[in-house]
Structure 1
Amino acid sequence: MSGSHATAKWYNESVPVEFTRALLAQAQAHGKDVDAMLRAARFPFDPLRQRAQTTCVSPEQYSRLCVELVRTLNDESAGVMPDVQTPVGTTRLILLTMLNSSNLAAAMRRSIEFNAACRVRQGVEISNQLEIDASGKLATLSYLCSDDLPEVQHSVLCNLAMWMRFAGWLIGQHIDISEARCAGPEPAFTAGIRHFFPCPVKYGQAVNSVTFSARLLEAELVRDEAELSEFLKLAPYHVIIEPKASTLSVTQRIRNILGSDFRTEMPSFEELTGLLNMSARTLRRRLEKEGTSYQRIKDNARRDAAISLLSRDGLTVSEVAERVGFSDPSAFHRSFKKWTGLSPGSYR
């Protein structure tokens, strides 16, 4: 196995400046003083005026600006959820309510109960449910605000993705969303949806929903109140930009082993057991408990690398295919469409 597999990171620790511009544009749309926000957040420059100064900002800078936008609007959904206002502090209270639950299923149901009882509505009916399919293998979390606002449903769906990142942090595991459904039409600008959902997304559905392995609902919560206070300092970064990597998850350990260079052969399952110092039986049981498999982890690693490479200029689709380990471009096309619901060319 190449040494690069053992050391490469598959996540970033900086924020493209375009994300900060989006925050400021949201503030402008609500008539807020952007200069005052930047000063309060101790932001070193104005991303709207000084476009050439930098391409990235730090997680701390981005998180401070998010917090300031929330404080200015007094809305933790930053004005993108039209059905309810989410006053500052609501997310912390919901997570505190969830902390002592017996498992993730109980925690999610507590959050749904909190949402039904405590959030400030604007005269619309809300549907918020957690359901398990007949096979017992798939769980679906759904949310629908007023269905006469089709143009905002993709934003509501993205908020569901953020909530799943909170849930993943609570159990110390990444929650892999296998399919998403949007109650509105496909938006003209799909970068936000693609950022949160590297999986098939269906539009024009009855509700907004995310589907994931039901096995994860059995997972115990591994966080306490002190960890929550620490997490919330960078929560905007971890729920919007990059989920917090977990040292508790065997999936994460495998992703770290695989790295991001797939031009060399990935370790076999037998080699992997040696690298993790586990028996094959133990590893299979741990992966099943985390609602995944070694093949799915490998597929997701190659998918994420392909998405990153497709966003760069100067690489052809064939070159991207080769870099993620496909000698046959047509096989890459088939696999990428299975992973994301789109062909590589359409995704780009």
Structure 2
Amino acid sequence: MAVTIPATIVANILEGAVARGADPAGILVRAGLPGVVGALEAPDFVLLVRAVTLTLDDELAGLQQRPQRVGTHAIMAAHVSHADTLGAAYARAATFMDLMDNSFRYSLRENGANLLFEMTRIPGREVLNNAAVEMVLVLVSRMLAWMVGNRGAINGAWFDYPAPGHASAYRAMFHRAPMQFGQAGSGIAIPLSLCRLPVLRTEEQAAAYARRTPLDAFLPQDGTAGLPLEVAVAVETLLSADGTLPDMALIAATLGIAPHTLRRRLKRDGVDYSDIRKQVRRDMAVRLLTTTDAAVEEIAERTGFSEASAFIRAFRSWTGLTPRAYRVSEF
């Protein structure tokens, strides 16, 4: 379940800091990272982005024409939380971001069975490197999926630059969606069938999520469509019912599929049952931490851990933080 952020993305983030006059060595010290970095595990990448953001007072990490002051993302999240549905949330997000009048124009339109969230460069405005596009699309799509229950799906993604050397990482970043490079603009296609989903998060919860960004956005997230989604929903339903993680035989019986058939079909989708189960457990823990006042011990029990210490160790391995630190963290 570990996610590794490619060295190219790490270098692109540091390039933004250097371009704004920051000392990269000082940023690495602030992030608690060694003096020479390459690819990073997701929690360490989060520490790096947080250090760059706070050093520059710029949530866009120095990658666009003007800085976006710390706190702007939380204001947008709070604004988006007042939408009724996922589609309306995307409309609010596109309008808010377009009003910032920075390096991109943002728009939303329907096309066939999809809702297209698009971003195009403003002529003459600085876009330092591809991370400016990657971060916007990942952060927006993950945040809005979380707004409707931490399930998302993308039918397509396209980019206005040639395929980068780390293009293989886009599979995880964009839910295994079909990719196109060298296009006139960049964006993602959201299934219209999902756009009717209701927004579940309150303004307070949304603002807290945004303050933790990019932590939540770069947690592992996979198995979000088709059979993997059906399996994830079934696991979550059974886990929520009695606090016990179901084995694959029980899930196969629940779905009316033979266990060997379920294993084979998941393998065909590039997904392992144990990973889906771990993801559901992690997602439930995050949700309970951020939307309830339940004690850590209670959350451990509700997510199938035999004792709180085992839950705390697992949660630190997922996020780089203890559950209590995660609950109060502000990024």
TM-score range, shorter-chain basis? Answer: 0.5 to 0.7
What corresponds to 1:187 in structure 2? 164
Which stretch of the first structure deviates more once superposed, 23-32 or 206-215?
23-32
The whole-number CA distance in structure 1 between the counterparts of 2:73 and 2:267 is 29
Equivalent residue pairs, number: 252
Unaligned 5+ residue runs, structure 1?
1-10, 258-265, 276-294, 309-348
Are 1:48 and 2:36 matched, yes or no? yes
Unaligned 5+ residue runs, structure 2?
238-247, 276-331
The whole-number CA distance in structure 1 between the counterparts of 2:118 and 2:267 is 23
2:23 to 33, 45, 49: 33
Q: What does residue range 105-144 of structure 1 map to in structure 2 within 5 Å? A: 105-117=87-99, 119-121=100-102, 126-134=104-112, 137-144=113-120
Q: What does residue range 56-205 of structure 1 map to in structure 2 within 5 Å? A: 59=43, 62-80=45-63, 82=64, 85-117=67-99, 119-121=100-102, 126-134=104-112, 137-146=113-122, 152=129, 155-197=132-174, 198-205=176-183
Query: Per-residue deviation at 1:71?
Result: 1.9
TM-score, normalised via structure 1 length: 0.58
Kindly provide the CA deviation profile for residues 243-301 of structure 1, in whole angstroms up to 9, marking residues without a partner as x: 4999xx866334779xxxxxxxx8799833479xxxxxxxxxxxxxxxxxxx9xx5698
Query: Per-residue deviation at 1:18?
Result: 4.8
The whole-number CA distance in structure 2 between the counterparts of 1:56 and 1:151 is 21
Query: Per-residue deviation at 1:231?
Result: 2.8
Query: Per-residue deviation at 1:104?
Result: 1.4
Could you say what secondary structure the match of 2:46 adopts? helix
Quick one: structure 1 residues 139 and 183, their matched pair in 2 at CA, closer, same or farther if it must change by over 3 Å?
same
Write the letter of the residue equivalent to 1:143. M
Structure number with bigger Rg = 1
Are 1:219 and 2:180 matched, yes or no? no
Query: Per-residue deviation at 1:147?
Result: 6.1
Could you say what secondary structure the match of 1:222 adopts? coil
Query: Per-residue deviation at 1:144?
Result: 0.7
Query: Per-residue deviation at 1:239?
Result: 1.2
The whole-number CA distance in structure 1 between the counterparts of 2:177 and 2:87 is 23
Aligned residues: percent identity?
Answer: 18
TM-score, normalised via structure 2 length: 0.61
Query: Per-residue deviation at 1:48?
Result: 0.9
**RMSD (CA atoms):** 4.2
Quick one: structure 1 residues 58 and 138, their matched pair in 2 at CA, closer, same or farther if it must change by over 3 Å?
closer
Quick one: structure 1 residues 16 and 217, their matched pair in 2 at CA, closer, same or farther if it must change by over 3 Å?
closer
The whole-number CA distance in structure 2 between the counterparts of 1:244 and 1:229 is 24
